[in-house]
Amino acid sequence: MNRSQAFAVAASAAAIASLAGCVNQGGGQSTSSSPASGTERMSTQLKGADGAAIANATIDFANGFATVTVEAGPNHTLSPGFHGLQIHSVGKCETNSTAPNGDSTGDFASAGSVYQAPDHTGYPASGDLTALQVRPDGSAKLVTTTSLFTAADLRNNQGSALIIHQSADNLSGSTGGNSGKRLACGVIAAGSATTTSSTTTTTTTSVSTVTTTVEVPPPSTSTSTVTVTSPPTTTSTAPTTTQNMPRGGY
């Protein structure tokens, strides 16, 4: 092998090694499912009305912000395009249900209206998030941030839920648009409404059986002695008269 061939082989080997190093480095990268230090995480799985898993979501709280990550796999539920993504005010995801105020029915209506943090009345509502853009194959991934709610807000006494809607909300309006049908829902925090528990107290009365042994004497055998007194026996002794008859004749 001449010098030029040796140089070419060495250069090729170095290029291959460099490429392999890049591949290994990329393959070694992984997305950690654990929250960073000092971060509080809440997570949920969003399901359709038929119970099929549609997407997974996490909310990480740190430094006064909530970072919401939603990832959906290829599915036949989410059509390509933008879908409204909102946090709702009740921690329930019931199909064919009635809204808490009773004004509507349908899948996931029990989750209530869009969440509003205490003392917040403006629009967008506290629970309005960036729309989820779905790709042609039905998959999607969104990472967005907000400072309009805290973890404690979402754990209020009614809880909270994350819902993917059929269409995107019109965020340009003053009161918000209509996001249409609710396609998928996941409970973020279940409600902690006061429940009345019935406590049954069972009082067990301990009955002690006291056995008293009384020594009973055997029945006495009475021997009755009957003394029969016979009348005195009278012995009559007749006097014996002895006549001395003369001997001879008369």
Tens-binned pLDDT, residue by residue, of the chain (250 aa): 554 444 444 444 444 444 333 333 333 333 345 666 668 999 999 999 999 999 999 999 999 999 999 999 887 789 999 999 999 999 999 999 999 988 889 999 999 999 999 888 878 899 999 999 999 999 999 999 999 999 999 999 899 999 999 988 655 444 444 678 899 999 999 987 533 333 333 333 334 444 444 455 555 544 444 444 445 544 444 454 444 544 444 3
CA 121 to chain centre: 34
Q: What tens digit of pLDDT does each residue of 133-150 get?
A: 999 999 999 999 999 999
Give the strand pairing for 182-189 and 105-106. Answer: unpaired
Q: How do the domains of the chain map onto residue ranges?
A: 38-189
pTM given for the model: 0.61
pLDDT score of 91: 96
- Match domain 38-189 to its CATH number in 3.30.70.940, 3.30.565.10, 2.60.40.200, 3.10.20.90: 2.60.40.200
